[in-house]
Structure 1
Amino acid sequence: MTTQASPEAITVEALINGQNVKSLSQSAKENPTHPTEIVGYFPDTTKEQAVEAIEVAAVAFKTWKKTDIEERVASMRKAIEKIRAAENEIVNLLSREHGKPLYDAHGEVYVALMWMEFACSEAAAALQEQVTEHDHGKTILSYDPIGVVAAISPWNYPIALSTIKIAPALLAGNTIVLKPSPYAPLAAAKVAEIIASEFPAGVINVVHGGADVGVELTTNPKVTKIAFTGGTETAKHIIKAASDTIKDMTLELGGNDAAIFLESFDVNDERAMRRIVVSNFLTTGQICMIAKRVYVHRSIYDAFVEKYIEAANRWIRIGDPFDPNTTVGPVNNLKQKEYVLSLVEDAKQRGAKVTPLGTILDQKLFDQGYYLQPTLVTGCDAHDRIVVEEQFGPTVPILPFDDEDQVINLHNESIYGLTSSVWGSEAEAISVARQLEAGTTMINTAAVQGLDVRFPFGGFKQSGIGREYGTEGIRTYTEPHVINVPNMLDLPYIPE
């Protein structure tokens, strides 16, 4: 396949100590809508350059950690305004490199800014030193910065899942080395550069590259915390790599999030049906917290499937991300497309029914890009691959269940536990939600539609370690430090 650079093609470089650093070689990022078109180039950062970025961050930390919280917040607020001013340019680049429709790319920037603004507004209170005087003396509790943070972000929400790490890490007084995914490196790097322009040199550094760079970020003794969003298998390697130096880690990993529709759910509620369709196929199904398996009470199952197909066919329009009529774009990369196809084909071979959904707006474009028509899978077994594996693409299985205990068990037997949703009467839905093993459970909505950055986000079991967002998402970049000043210097039970 012959590729050609777009007239709008850009080149990003590594950012080390406030300077762009060239590499001897570069990689090209193709446009998933037009795979023969190159959107831009990013560097093959070397291991030596990664070491330099870490060392620079370690030096910058010595000064940055001493700055007042007011100074850190002021710098972050200036960065927020710069991102907002450049939003259209950022969204254009994100849509071309990722395949997100424009509305979706704007939505990602909106979420990123919403979190950054919340972090700025809450950082002073979250990091406030606490002094407690008591019968035994005085205790001081401070939240001290950890040091150099290695942040590794994924390709599905590259901006939001980079800033979810950058903002709290810097506000807490740390420095950071960011490595964006090679599947979506350009917009994330540009946003990181915008933020870096408001901070001292070395506080934010950006590297790219392959496995050797990733290994350096996860093993270098000067890195004290790893913040990673991505696949569970990759996380297992990161945990092993970081074990020799016992690094602090925040890992937000995979999810096979279930949506449970109780007997009390109204299948004729068109707005609710639209919400579940969006929860399945927003960002072409490539969101960690999207609803990936749907369980429906058997008494409403047939009517639900019928109404679901109607709602999906109304909302899903597959086309060019720059076409305002498009709601679903291409899959981000060929590897992911082939994986999703393998799951659908496996379901077919096992006797499941696969129903195509939505309208293809431009068949020629569809055929040349990394497109998949969204599909609904029915008649599958609860333990088929398409049910138990995280599809991360535009397909969803819908299965019937007979009672609450059964569906709760089906939900909880998964190795994942990121988010979930329960649909039906509020009291009944909350009762079921309390029994689910998940970091977040939403009632009568799901996925990004129910996200609230004011509260912690993360998962049970193999969906991750730690929490992001909320006050916890700020303090996770600190170490609680207790200073005790006792007034009883001799304990009564210790002999003279």
Structure 2
Amino acid sequence: MLDTPFNLVINGQPVGSAGRIDVIDPATGRPFAHCPLATIEQLDDAVAAARAAFPGWAATPIDARADALLRLGALIEENQADLAALLSREQGKPVKSAQGEIGGAVYWIRATAGLRPKVERIENPEGPVIEIHRKPLGVVGSITPWNFPVMIAIWHVIPALLAGNSVVLKPSPNTPLTTLRIGELASAVLPAGVFNVVTGDVEIGSGIARHPGIDKIVFTGSTGTGRAIMRDGAANLKRLTLELGGNDAAIVLSDADVDAIVPRLFSASFGNSGQICAAIKRLYVHESLYDTVAARLAELAAAAVVGPGDGADSQFGPLQNRRQYDYVRALAEDAKANGGRFLSGGEAPDGDGYFFPLSVLVDVSDGMRIVDEEQFGPILPVIRFSDPEDALARANRGENGLGGSVWSSDPGAAAALAMRLESGSAWVNDHSTISPLVPFGGAKQSGIGVEFGQHGLDEYTQIQTLRLPRG
């Protein structure tokens, strides 16, 4: 067990708690650390601290707020090695991938800190001067998942703080430790109460959703939990940004360049062991390329090294938690029972930890669980089609609409088809690539609102219309 203590961060101070949570190493399935279990009273304390800090932070010039966030980014960068080692241990991803997540978070902070709310003016030559300003909302509650605990926390927190809000953040109880460390670093550069971190499970998450002192919630996670947050937040009309489940489809047309696209399909499907909201979860391939694409993907999957995060050769880590591991195994068994055939993987190895091999599955179709449900793991179902219109209809079937892509040697034709995908993001010859200045969000049941860029910053503000006499 790690000897270093972990604490809540409330009003700029480390705070302990009588209760605690075991944090599991997914490579062994055993606890390796503890973190405090916050009480509802401590959540109330965090919200009270955030409310008290809000007026002063909102009144701080935005350039000064941005400078403070840049200093936080510099502190995270200075501590990158230690943070990455801790992140790898609690999340399971290889250390190199964890270093990439920490570095990506720093990059995101720096890009986001350059954004500024815009003042719009309505032309009204004969009437009053009309300006549309954007003002901070108040206290933002952030609830983050376990797949990218640091990166997603940064996605939530940095634009909220830049816009002038204060924040209470709850990380996943599966991966709380690195986020707590970042909360400690933030206390060195932000005023007390501006950024608070509390840990807990359902009780604390529901408490945030219901809390009358929280004005907005930003949540990344399952659609079911998003619906519960929306219901509980209705009591005080909380603003919401919800990035929810995705079951992204990719469509490979008959003229696609197999040599060029297979490595990119592989990366977009299996990154982070498939635990990415906008990963390819369903791959529709034209019948003329079906066998070749599936075989090539299976070769890459079979050659991949799945191992513990600190393994020198590990390219992919275990699934993050037992619940997800059991779910992925159940999907694999259901696929086999219904005629699916694994070209690679398909069986969990013996031994400790939540390891599942990268798996390519053929002879499957819509209506099977592995196609209709979001697996959020390293199984890629490859589905045959003959008519692109049929593939599009199948890609659009279902409640999710986070992302989708079309792969072809004719980008114009592919773009025309991609624009008909019912998804918040669409790619041509690419998938799941994102950037801090490009808005990202879901259609249908995959979310409400967007993150990133100017549109994402606006989500943390309230419009105020100002009418001024002319002259």
TM, length-normalised to structure 1: 0.91
Match of 1:74 in 2: 67
Distance 1:358 1:95 in 2: 25
SS in 1 for 2:133: strand
For each residue in 1:70-122, what CA deviation from the matched residue of structure 2 results, as whole angstroms up to 9, or x when unmatched? 11011011111000010011100000111001221122123222221111112
Residue in 2 that maps onto 1:129: 119
Q: Equivalents in 1 of 2:87, 2:455: separation in Å?
A: 29
Distance in structure 2 (CA, Å) of the matches to 1:313 and 1:340 = 18
The 3-state SS of whatever aligns with 1:226 is strand
Residue pair 1:317, 1:358 contacting (<8 A) in 2 also: no
- Equivalent residue of 1:52, what SS? helix
Aligned residues: 469
Return the offset for 1:381.
2.1
Q: 2-side partners of 1:250 and 1:263: how far apart?
A: 38
- Of 370, 386, 389, which residue of structure 1 is paired with 2:370? 386
Counterpart-to-counterpart distance in 2, 1:395 and 1:358 = 8
What does residue 464 of structure 1 align with? 447
Counterpart for residue 108 of structure 2: 115
Residue correspondence of structure 1 range 384-423 to structure 2 within 5 A: 384-423=368-407
Task: Work out which of the residue numbers 83, 88, 98 in structure 2 matches 1:90.
Answer: 83
Q: Is 2:171 the partner of 1:180?
A: yes
**Which aligned pairs between 1:202-241 and structure 2 lie closer than 5 A?**
202-241=193-232
Q: What residue number does 1:18 align with? A: 12
Which residue is 2:280 aligned to?
291
SS at 1:321 equivalent: coil
Q: Secondary structure at the match of 2:204?
A: helix
Report the Cα offset of residue 196 of structure 1. 3.0
Q: Which moved more, 1:384-393 or 1:97-106?
A: 97-106
* In 1, Cα distance between equivalents of 2:255 and 2:312: 36
Q: TM-score, normalised by structure 2?
A: 0.96
1:207 is displaced (CA, Å) by: 0.5
Aligned residues of 1:318 and 1:358 also touching (Cα < 8 A): no
Say whether the 8 Å CA contact 2:77–2:103 is kept in structure 1: no
Aligned-partner SS, 1:453: coil
| Paired AA for residue 335 in structure 1 | R
Of 34, 37, 40, 2:28 maps to 34
For the aligned residue pairs, the C-alpha RMSD in angstroms reads 1.8
SS of the residue corresponding to residue 262 of structure 2 reads helix
Matches within 5 A, 1:280-359: 280-314=269-303, 316-357=304-345
CA contact (8 A) 1:232 1:253 kept: yes
Which residues of 2 match residues 243-282 of structure 1 at below 5 A?
243-269=234-260, 272-282=261-271
* 2:76 match: secondary structure: helix
CA distance in 1, matches of 2:343, 2:293: 14
Map residues 154-169 of structure 1 onto 2, 5 A cutoff: 154-169=145-160
- Equivalent position SS for 1:317: coil
1:127-153 deviation line (CA, Å, top 9, x unaligned): 143445531220121110000000000
The Cα of 1:179 is off from its aligned counterpart by 0.2
Task: Provide the rounded CA distance (Å) in 1 between the counterparts of 2:308 and 2:13.
Answer: 36
Q: Which letter maps to 2:103?
A: Y
Give the Cα–Cα distance (whole angstroms) in 1 for the partners of residues 347 and 235 of structure 2. 52
Letter in 1 for 2:386: D
Greater mean deviation of Cα atoms: 343-352 or 438-447: 438-447
Structure 2: segments with no counterpart, 5+ residues:
none
| Percent of paired sites with the same residue | 35
Letter in 1 for 2:462: E
Task: Flag the 1:443–1:133 CA change in 2: closer, same or farther, 3 A.
Answer: closer
Residues 273, 311 of structure 1: 8 Å contact kept: no
The more displaced of 316-325 and 175-184 is 316-325
Query: Which amino acid in the other structure matches residue 22 of structure 2?
Result: A
SS at match of 1:313: helix
Q: Which moved more, 1:50-59 or 1:127-136?
A: 127-136
Once residues 396 and 358 of structure 2 are traced to their aligned partners in structure 1, the CA distance between those partners, rounded to angstroms, is: 26
Question: Where do 1:134-145 residues align within 5 Å?
Answer: 134-135=124-125, 136-145=127-136
Which amino acid is 2:273 matched to?
A: T
* CA distance in structure 2 between the aligned counterparts of 1:188 and 1:208, rounded to whole angstroms: 10
How many Å separate the matches in 2 of 1:27 and 1:290? 30
C-alpha separation between the residues in 2 aligned to 1:109 and 1:274? Answer: 25
Q: Which residues of 2 match residues 465-484 of structure 1 at below 5 A? A: 465-484=448-467
Give the distance between the partners of 2:95 and 2:412, measured in 1 at CA. 37
Give 3-state SS (helix, strand or coil) of 1:11's partner: coil
Distance in structure 2 (CA, Å) of the matches to 1:259 and 1:336: 23
Contact 2:359–2:379 under 8 Å retained in 1: yes
Distance 1:359 1:105, change over 3 A: farther
1:139-184 per-residue CA deviation (whole Å, 9 max, x = no partner) reads 1211100000000000000001101111000110000000000011
Distance across 1 between alignment mates of 2:65 and 2:342? 52
3-state SS, counterpart of residue 156 of structure 2: helix
Q: Which amino acid aligns with 2:142?
A: A
